[in-house]
Structure 1
C-alpha cells in the first residue's frame, strides 16, 4: 500500500484518513515493514517518485531481452505469461488471439499412438502405447454483490504452468450468472490454448447440477448459459465438472 499526497502539507492528514479507514475495518499493519517520509524508491516492482508511480525500467529491459520461444513448450509457457498479464493490457484478448491459435497448432492429441516395430524370432511385431491424457485443471469462481460482479480463474496446464485471470463483468449479474460466466471463460481459455481434456472445479451446486444434467434449467437466462456451456463442452474429448 502506498499513500502519496499531491501537496506535502496534506500528507499528515492523508495518513490520518488512511489509518481511520484501517481502524474502521479492523486491519493491522506490520510496523517493522512500514516506511514514512520516502521521497522516491522501488515498491513492488514500480518506481515511486514525486512525479507519481512509474514503471520500473529494469522490468522493461527484462521483457525486451526475453528470448523468443523456439518450441511448443516455450510457446505454451509464453501464452501463460501473457494470460497472467492480460488484465493490464487494453483489448488483450484480440491482441493475444494469434498466440492462442499458435498454441493450439502445437498441441498434440492427448491420446497419441506411438508405434515401434520389433523383430521377435523372425516375426515382425508392432507394439502400440498410448500417452497419458494431457489434462488441464481449472478452478473458477464468480462473485456478485452490491459493488459489482466479477469472475476469477486459476488454470493449471498439463506442464504445471499456472495461469491466473480475473475480470469484472460489464453488467449486473446474480450469483448463479456470475458462476456461469466464470465457467464459460475458463472453458473458452482452455480450448483456445489447445486443451482437449479438462477438469473444472466450481463451488456452485446449482450450476454443476445443471451442466451435469442433475437439475433442470427453468429460467430463460439459465437456459441460455447452459446452452453455451453445452456447446463448449462438445469441443472437449473429456470434460469433468
Structure 2
C-alpha cells in the first residue's frame, strides 16, 4: 500500500483505519498525524506528507501485518481493564487471561479536543473509563433481559399476555424464524396452542393479537414450564417495582395502555409498504391495472431481486442493499445514531474537496475520436433547458446528469476548472443511484402539470362520459370528412364502447365485434338511444 498523495487519499486512509478501531490498540493516538494533516486543508488537492505522517503510516502497516487476535470472553469470566492517557488521546483495553497469557477482547480510543487536552492526568484516566462505558454495549452479554411496568390495572393473565406480546414484538423486529416460548402460565400456553377455548372477551383480544404475531414466524413452539424453572422472571417482576434497582443490562419498558388498544394500527403497518408492489411482481408477476404504472414498475424492478423472502437492490457504487420496511428503518436509524454504531472515533468532519464535481459531474469526460460529428441541433437548445412539465432537462432525465454547455468550454465553469477524473466518476455513479428519485419527482410534477392543464381546458369544454358497453354514435365529419354535405347525416353508428382509456377518450367496437381503428374523443361522440 503506497503512501497517500492527496487529501482524498488521506481521508480514505482514515476512514479505512477507523473501521478497524476495535481491533487496534491506541488507534486514535496512532492517527493523530493524519488528523493534523486534514485540519484546514479542505480546499487543497495536495497535502504535505510529513515525516511524522510517514512514521505513523509505517507503524500502522507494521501493526496490521501482525495484529493480536481478539478473543471472546466467556460468561462469568473475570476481565481486566487497562486505561491509557496521553497528551492528545486516551484509550482502554479489555483483557482476559488464558492459561497464564493475557489476550485482548476489545479496544477503545478517543481523541481529546479543545478543553479536554487540559485535563489533569487523573481526570484523563477517568475520561477514558467513561468513554469505555459508552462502548460497553459491544461487549458479549450472557443474556438479554427486559422488564415491563404497567401504567394501567391488569389481571395476572393479562400481565402474562403482555409479557408474551413484548417478546413477540422483539422477535418480529429481529426477524426470528425459529422461536421457542417458555411460560409458566397454563392458561396462556393452552389457549395459544388451541387446547382451551378463550371465553373471556379481553383475553380473546390478546389471543388474537398473539396469533397475528405468531403467523409471522414460520417455526414456533409455546411450551409450559414449572414455576420453579422461571425464578429469574419472578425476580425481575419484583425488581420492576423499583426501577432504580434494575441492572444496566435489563431493558426497562413502561406500558401506559394495553397492547390490544393499538392493534388496528399494527395490522395496517404490517401489511403494506413501499416494497409490496416489487415483492408481488417478482414473486407472482402481479402488476397494477394502470398500464403506465405497470410499465414503470417493470423498469424499476430490474434493479431488485428476492432472496429467501427478502428484497435486495443492486447499486452502481456500493454493495447490494437490503430493503427494509418502516419499522425496521426506524430501528436501523436508532441503532446507527444511538446504539452500538453511534460510537465513533472523534474525527473532524471535513467538507468534500470538490463539492460541485460530485454533485454536478461532467458526462462523457473521456478522450476519444469524433466519428459521428455533432449532434443535430434542437431549436432553443431543448435538450439542456428545464421543461415546465418535469422541472428537469431532457438530457438529465436521459443520462442522469446535466450536460456541459459550449460556453463552459470557452469560459470554464467551477466544475470544469476543478475537474478531477476520480471525483467525476464518483459523481456519475452517485447520480445514477439517485436517478430513480429524479424520475419519480419528474413524474409527480408532470401529473400535477397535466391536472392543471386539464382543469384549464375543462372549463371551456363539456366532456361526455360513457361507460363500457354503452351504444354511441360517431361524428361523420371526423370519421369521413369527404362524405359530408348539407343533406348528408351528421352521425353514424351505432358503435359500442370497448374501453375507457382516460376520461373523455375511448376505444370502440363495431356491432359485429370488430375493433374500430384509432381512439375517439367524447366531443365527437353522442349517446345512441334505441
**TMscore range, shorter length:** 0.3 to 0.5
Higher relative contact order (CA 8 A, sep 6+): 1
Q: Which has the larger radius of gyration?
A: 2
